Amino acid sequence: MIKNDTLTIAAVASAMSDAGIGIIRISGERAITVADRYYRNKKGIRDLKSHGANTIRFGRFCDEEGKVLDEILISVMKAPYTYTGEDVVEVNCHGGTLVLQEVLQVLVQDPDCRLAQPGEFTKRAFLNGRIDLSQATAVMDLISAKNRFALENANRQLSGELKEKVLAMRQKILHETAFIEAALDDPDNYDLEGYGARLQKTLSMLISEVDDLLRHAKEGQIRKEGISTAIIGRPNAGKSSLFNRLLQTERAIVTDIAGTTRDTIEETVRLGDILLKLIDTAGIRSTQDEIEQLGVARSKAVAEEADLILYVADRTQEFDETDIQTITDAMKNKKLILLLNKSDLSGENRLDAEALRAQFPQLIVVETTMTGENAQDGLEDLKQAIAELFFSGALTPPEELFLTNTRQREAFSSANAALKQVAESIENGMSEDFFTVDLMGAYAALGEIIGEEVEDDLVDKIFSDFCMGK
């Protein structure tokens, strides 16, 4: 068997899109040898092996027959001071998926090089001692960061803030377990009298600490991934205008992300530090004409998927049964913001914000004018309203640590459940030897977060979540 695990690997390290430039990363013992076969300097000479470490030079990338595929910048980094700990060559091509694919094709057809598996560069970095497990997890977050918050948070985890926190909690748990064990084995010198009450205090401190982290986790996740938002309302209420406004806002990044369902398209819109994932907006737009027929059912289906509903109403029209029904239903388990829009400036106001607030307690109403020269887009108010609903009013994320990673959240949840179980055991008057079962359960769960616990499906859990070139 060829030693597959040590072969030099290559993959596209930038996004596979028609961007300005694209990078192909090559890593392994023969990275320089392999790249050298296809690199020519500006004089057409193969000289990659003479490049020093940490250099970047101009040249051309040719296929095996010597045909120039692209003009490139090539950087050489030498082991062990590279991301993977191996020799690394990065080829900066002109963007364009076709060029990138051609260059990559040449490389992976070389007998000394193969296509990297997802996460393999990071796996090698881990195996070569460049990063530890919690850092590997953070790298994953870093790469997938969509906004400044996600980026900063991942960086904060990378620097070990989360690790410190977890280590301190584990230390406390271990201390309690050790005391119980000592008392069981040496009752002469360690007394368990009144211990349950003492342990309860430590437990409630630990539990509230984890609770806080988990509470933040939801917020962290929403900050990182965006709030799934549905815009609904009657035809011509101003949904499209709102949608367009949102798209133009602050030169919003609009990306098409194929979601879990193949034909669902999400538009991600950034409002300052707040990300909105507009659900199924394409659907809404395309079915606008038929919305009367589809009626409430259609709106409901869209609302079902969302965390936030932006209900757009034309204030020149009075509410009918459907409006009232939809708002009442949605408010039961969703967050809803009512946007009172005036599409026809000459029309009379038939909906009054105050009256509506009285009719629907806790309803958040934002008034806007979407069209005309005096367009009051109301977006500042909307931003503030969303912040109130999701982030306790904070428009920019506080300088705190957020759990944004599913694996970490699950581990904290099970640690929390175990700690609560211990508290319950104390309340039920169980004897102390039962406490250690769940104390150690919590200890192990916390250990998984920082790689202090041996995990079975580690590879699947961490590295396979990466995309190809990382």
Q: What angle do CA 320, 326, 329 make, to 5 degrees?
A: 135
Q: Per CB under 8 A, does 2 bind another protein?
A: no
- Which part of the chain contacts another protein (CB under 8 A), choosing from 206-214, 339-347, 370-378, 445-453? 445-453
Output 151 or 417, the one with its CB closest to another protein.
Answer: 417
With beta carbons less than 8 A apart as the criterion, state whether 38 and 102 touch.
Answer: no
Q: Per CB under 8 A, does 127 bind another protein?
A: yes
DSSP summary character for residue 51: P
Query: CB of residue 455 vs another protein: minimum separation in angstroms?
Result: 7
Question: In the set 73, 143, 145, 184, which binds another protein (CB under 8 A)?
Answer: 184
Cα 113 to Cα 141: distance, rounded to the nearest angstrom: 28
Q: How many CB atoms lie within 10 A of CB 288?
A: 13
Output 28 or 59, the one with its CB closest to another protein.
Answer: 28
With beta carbons less than 8 A apart as the criterion, state whether 122 and 140 touch.
Answer: yes
Q: Per CB under 8 A, does 432 bind another protein?
A: yes
Q: Per CB under 8 A, does 456 bind another protein?
A: yes
- Which part of the chain contacts another protein (CB under 8 A), choosing from 58-66, 127-135, 158-166, 308-316? 127-135
With beta carbons less than 8 A apart as the criterion, state whether 34 and 8 touch.
Answer: yes
Q: Per CB under 8 A, does 70 bind another protein?
A: no
DSSP summary character for residue 306: -
Query: CB of residue 177 vs another protein: minimum separation in angstroms?
Result: 9
Which residues from 85-114 bind another protein, rule CB under 8 A?
Answer: 85
Query: CB of residue 29 vs another protein: minimum separation in angstroms?
Result: 12
Output 9 or 276, the one with its CB closest to another protein.
Answer: 9
Per-residue interface string for the shown chain with another protein, residues 265-284, x marking contact by CB under 8 A: --------------------
Q: Per CB under 8 A, does 189 bind another protein?
A: yes
Site size toward another protein (CB under 8 A) is 40
With beta carbons less than 8 A apart as the criterion, state whether 105 and 430 touch.
Answer: no
Q: Exposed e or buried b for every residue in 398-419, given b needs 16+ CB within 10 A? A: eeebbbbbebbbebbebbbebb
Q: Find the length of the chain.
A: 470
Question: In the set 236, 291, 452, 467, which binds another protein (CB under 8 A)?
Answer: 452
Please choose, from the candidates 439, 427, 424, 421, the residue with its C-alpha nearest in 3D space to the C-alpha of residue 181: 439
Q: Per CB under 8 A, does 190 bind another protein?
A: no
Cα 370 to Cα 353: distance, rounded to the nearest angstrom: 17
Question: In the set 114, 438, 442, 466, which binds another protein (CB under 8 A)?
Answer: 438
Please choose, from the candidates 274, 268, 281, the residue with its C-alpha nearest in 3D space to the C-alpha of residue 312: 281
Output 28 or 95, the one with its CB closest to another protein.
Answer: 28
Question: In the set 307, 441, 442, 469, which binds another protein (CB under 8 A)?
Answer: 441
Q: Per CB under 8 A, does 126 bind another protein?
A: yes
Cα 249 to Cα 268: distance, rounded to the nearest angstrom: 12
- Can you list the positions of beta strands (E) in 349-468? 364-368
Lookup: tokens for 334:
């969703």
Q: Per CB under 8 A, does 166 bind another protein?
A: no
- Directed axis angle between helix 379-391 and helix 195-225, to 10°? 150
Please choose, from the candidates 11, 52, 7, 48, the residue with its C-alpha nearest in 3D space to the C-alpha of residue 28: 7
Output 164 or 433, the one with its CB closest to another protein.
Answer: 433
Q: Per CB under 8 A, does 7 bind another protein?
A: no
Residue whose structure tokens are 């993977």: 84
Which residues from 140-159 bind another protein, rule CB under 8 A?
Answer: none
Output 366 or 423, the one with its CB closest to another protein.
Answer: 423
Q: What angle do CA 367, 370, 374 make, to 5 degrees?
A: 90
Q: Per CB under 8 A, does 164 bind another protein?
A: no
Chain residues in the site for another protein (CB under 8 A): 5, 85, 123, 126-130, 132-133, 181-182, 184-186, 188-189, 421, 428-434, 437-438, 440-441, 444, 447, 451-456, 458-459, 463
